[in-house]
């Protein structure tokens, strides 16, 4: 089922009690009137396209008070959407896709975010929403012409564009959840076939998050079990130069959605709900450093 359809159905099946200031009534009205599908995308970019469609479904129901409400990082909903557009635009620039909004000055995420937010503050929230969606759709269309292994760079990190797009999907998912939480709306998770590649990215990032945090896991191996739809098992070599995993030094079992959100900076690593076995210190280091790449 299309992720947007799942969002609509979940909203319609919610309990009758509506929290104060909830967007649910408007969301239901929007669900009946507007059903904009995910942008056409390559198979490997569909987790991102699906999260864009889900976020857009939420945004189409927002009214003036919702746009002015602070969501996260001190940003209003309009500023949060501008942030997403800013980072999408930097990935687009890296692979030769169209870049919308103001000309690129600052080429780092925070600098570009500030530039796009300043630009969008002079525009209506609906224009900001349309600009963000147009940027995301233009990126998806361009990605359909590229191999997933095409190099792309964001904030000095060069990875295959497939991985950067999975990361963009994860951030869009997290910020959609941020906005929905403030609005008092419960949204469904992505479909399992979109969660699985996102979780795979999170697992493969663990050696890098450790190294970025000043810890070298070279020669050590983690057995990671993520439960729930879209989960699975990974044997992760914890050194960035390690090519093959060894026998597990530590084992971690956790919920797949919670683990993805941990990598995305949501949740406290110190009390993250996980079952750990083997080298407990290593397992704790893995969880503590997992959010190292998360940011606004």
pLDDT tens for each residue of 208-217: 999 999 999 9
Tell me how far the alpha carbon of residue 115 is from its chain's centroid.
Answer: 21
Residues with Cβ < 8 Å from 111, sequence gap 6 or more? 105
Local confidence band at 166 (pLDDT 50, 70, 90 cut-offs):
very high
Local confidence band at 194 (pLDDT 50, 70, 90 cut-offs):
very high
Local confidence band at 62 (pLDDT 50, 70, 90 cut-offs):
confident
Local confidence band at 161 (pLDDT 50, 70, 90 cut-offs):
very high
- Give the per-residue pLDDT at 183: 87
- Give the per-residue pLDDT at 255: 98
Average pLDDT, the chain: 89
Q: Which pTM was predicted?
A: 0.89
Tell me the pLDDT tens digit for each residue of 239-260: 999 989 999 999 999 999 999 9
CA distance 161 to 242: 22
Dihedral Cα 131, 132, 136, 141, nearest 10 deg: -10
Sketch out the chain's domains with CATH numbers. Answer: 3-190 (1.20.120.450), 196-293 (3.30.1050.10)
User: Mean pLDDT throughout 153-168?
Assistant: 97
């Amino acid at each position: 089922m299309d992720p947007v359809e799942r969002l609509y159905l979940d909203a319609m099946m919610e309990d009758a009690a509506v929290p104060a200031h909830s967007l649910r009534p408007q969301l239901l009205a929007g669900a009946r009137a507007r059903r904009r599908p995910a942008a056409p995308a390559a198979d490997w970019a569909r987790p991102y396209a699906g999260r864009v469609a889900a976020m857009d479904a939420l945004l189409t129901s927002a009214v003036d008070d919702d746009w002015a409400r602070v969501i996260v990082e001190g940003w209003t909903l309009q500023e949060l959407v501008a942030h997403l557009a800013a980072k999408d635009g930097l990935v687009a620039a890296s692979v030769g896709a169209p870049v919308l909004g103001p000309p690129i000055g600052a080429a780092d995420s925070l600098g570009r975010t500030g530039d796009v937010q300043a630009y969008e503050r002079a525009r209506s929230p609906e224009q900001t929403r349309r600009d963000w969606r147009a940027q995301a759709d233009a990126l998806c269309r361009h990605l359909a012409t590229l191999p997933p292994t095409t190099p792309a760079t964001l904030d000095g990190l060069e990875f295959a564009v497939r991985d950067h797009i999975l990361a963009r999907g994860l951030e869009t998912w997290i910020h959609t959840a941020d906005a929905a939480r403030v609005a008092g709306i419960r949204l469904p998770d992505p479909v399992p076939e979109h969660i699985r590649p996102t979780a795979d990215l999170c697992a493969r990032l663990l050696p890098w998050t450790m190294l970025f945090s000043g810890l070298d896991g070279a020669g050590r191996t983690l057995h990671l079990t993520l439960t729930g739809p879209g989960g699975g098992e990974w044997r992760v070599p914890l050194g960035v130069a390690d090519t093959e995993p060894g026998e597990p030094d530590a084992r971690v079992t956790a919920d797949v959605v919670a683990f993805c959100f941990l990598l995305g900076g949501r949740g406290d690593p110190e009390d993250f709900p996980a079952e750990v076995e083997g080298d407990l210190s290593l397992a704790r280091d893995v969880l503590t450093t997992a959010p190292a790449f998360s940011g606004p």
